[in-house]
Amino acid sequence: MFANISAFLKSITFIDYIFFFSVIFLIILVVSLIYFIKINEEIIDSTEKVEDADNLKEIINNIKATDPKPMTFTPYEKEQEDKAIISYDELLSNTGSYELNYVNEEVKDDLTIKKVDLNNIANQNMQIEVTNKEVPLLSLKREEEFLKALKELQKSLN
């Protein structure tokens, strides 16, 4: 039996080996492709589908109904947030504090057209609290070292 197998393997040419392994490789690719397609269909089926893609109200309601994921900061991002002139939270709190002023407003079909007053663009709704924070500046010694380093860099570039 082993003699027959060895005789068969000796009679096969190099091109036959290449053909055999390429067919095996293609079969593996097709099976893996089918597997990934099935996985993606399961993921798509598990999410909610909007019946009418043009219905923006339904899409907005679905977005509002989902809970936002909490933001996690890396240590570097946390440090930058603490050192920032205006923090992300302050920026979000002031988001709705301004309104645009309009000269006139027209309704055509379902579309509302508003003309912006360019002389008086924004109207402030809320009073913004101004907090005085001390901004750490470079010490005089570190400033002088920085200026020396800049001068040396400029000399080396010339």
Model confidence pLDDT, tens digit, residues 44-103? 554 556 566 667 777 778 888 887 777 788 888 888 877 777 767 777 776 666 677 788
Is there a contact between 58 and 89 (Cβ–Cβ < 8 Å)? no
Chain centroid to Cα 114, Å, comes to 32
Q: What is the pTM of this model?
A: 0.27
Cβ atoms within 10 A of the Cβ of 121, count? Answer: 11
Confidence of residue 128 (pLDDT cuts 50, 70, 90): low
pLDDT surpasses 90 at 24 = yes
Q: Above 60 in pLDDT, residue 151?
A: yes
**Look-up of token digits 């079969």:** 27
49 or 111, which is more confident: 111
Mean pLDDT of the chain: 78
Which pLDDT band, with edges at 50, 70 and 90, does 43 fall under? low
How far from the centroid of its chain's Cα atoms is residue 133's Cα? 32
pLDDT of the residue at 7 = 87
* Joined tokens for residue 50: 């909007």
Residue 152: φ, ψ to 5°: -65, -40
Asked if the model's pLDDT at residue 31 lies above 80, the reply is yes
Contact 120, 99 (CB under 8 A): no
Residues written for the chain: 158
Q: In 3D, which of 20, 23, 19 has the Cα closest to residue 31? A: 23
Q: pLDDT value at position 25?
A: 96
